[in-house]
């Protein structure tokens, strides 16, 4: 069995999970957090070293204020309470996205988690918040301009992305039957394998990681070679 180094998740279907049960959409997001814990534990059980999660896109601000507020409430609880009890293996927290625009209490919680876990090497949980792949590339280019860089190669650009130092995702998983990239890890996905699952994110179980890894093992990765 080949174990992917890095699996990235587009956690889709929280809203539909809730409305199909006649519950408010926000109930789907709360269940989504529980699923996220199961999936992280499943990944770590198999030795997946880097786990990326798309928690809030730069386009999600267009949602009703009540839903955005609830997502931030969940994020704040996640960073101040849940993360500490997530699993028995230590991991480092990394963020992708423009976090300066976030409510200050959420941002403070995130920065504290990042600092507290900065020395952990074995596992990384990389969370996209106020994240968009195009925005990430623009921010990287602007940082390079500010640093006075006048020639860019792939390695330089990679080192200015929010994922600097992390391997590219071997697998991108999207739940809820949608087959779109939705502005996620646009630069990093060049050779990722895509797996689309026909279940809503809150229905994800630890065992689904096994299904993902089995499917990954059926893929023949060529990276442009024969």
Which are the catalytic amino acids? Answer: 12, 60
CA 1 to chain centre: 24
| Residue span 35-74 as binding mask against ligand FPP, x where in contact by CB under 6 A, dash where not | -x----------------x-x----x----------x--x
CA distance 83 to 45: 17
C-beta of 176: minimal distance to ligand FPP in Å?
A: 6
Please report which residue ranges of the chain form alpha helices under DSSP H.
14-19, 25-46, 65-80, 104-116, 133-146, 154-160, 208-218
Stretch that binds ligand FPP, among 32-40, 93-101, 103-111, 112-120 (CB under 6 A): 32-40
3-state secondary structure of 221: coil
CA distance 209 to 156: 33
127 binds ligand FPP (CB under 6 A): yes
Comparing CB distances to ligand FPP, the nearer of 60 and 80 is 60
List the beta bridge partners of residue 9: 53, 173
Q: Please identify the residue of the shown chain whose CB is closest to the bound ligand FPP.
A: 15
Structure tokens at 100: 């300066």
Q: How far does the chain reach from its first CA to its final CA, in angstroms?
A: 21
11 binds ligand FPP (CB under 6 A): yes
| Residue span 75-94 as binding mask against ligand FPP, x where in contact by CB under 6 A, dash where not | x--x----------------
Stretch that binds ligand FPP, among 6-14, 93-101, 112-120, 203-211 (CB under 6 A): 6-14
Structure tokens at 170: 């071997």
Q: What residue ranges bind ligand FPP (CB under 6 A)? A: 11-16, 29, 32-33, 36, 53, 55, 60, 71, 74-75, 78, 127, 176, 201
């Amino acid at each position: 069995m080949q174990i992917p180094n890095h699996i990235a998740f587009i956690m889709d279907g929280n809203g539909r999970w809730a409305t199909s049960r006649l519950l408010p959409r926000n109930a789907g997001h709360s269940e989504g957090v529980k699923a996220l814990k199961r999936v992280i534990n499943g990944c770590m059980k198999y030795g997946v070293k880097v786990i990326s999660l798309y928690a809030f896109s730069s386009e999600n601000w267009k949602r009703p204020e009540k839903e955005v507020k609830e997502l931030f409430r969940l994020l704040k609880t996640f960073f101040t309470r849940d993360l500490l009890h997530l699993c028995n293996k230590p991991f480092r927290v990394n963020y992708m996205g423009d976090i300066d625009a976030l409510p200050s209490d959420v941002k403070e919680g995130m920065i504290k988690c990042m600092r507290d876990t900065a020395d952990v090497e074995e596992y990384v949980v990389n969370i996209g918040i106020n994240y968009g792949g195009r925005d990430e590339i623009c921010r990287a280019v602007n940082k390079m301009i500010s640093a006075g860089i006048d020639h860019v190669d792939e390695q330089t650009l990679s080192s200015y992305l929010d994922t600097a130092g992390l391997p590219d995702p071997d697998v991108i998983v999207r739940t809820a039957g949608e087959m779109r990239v939705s502005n996620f890890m646009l630069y990093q996905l060049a050779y990722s394998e895509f797996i689309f699952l026909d279940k809503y994110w809150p229905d994800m179980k630890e065992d689904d990681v096994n299904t993902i890894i089995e499917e990954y093992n059926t893929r023949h990765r060529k990276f442009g070679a024969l």
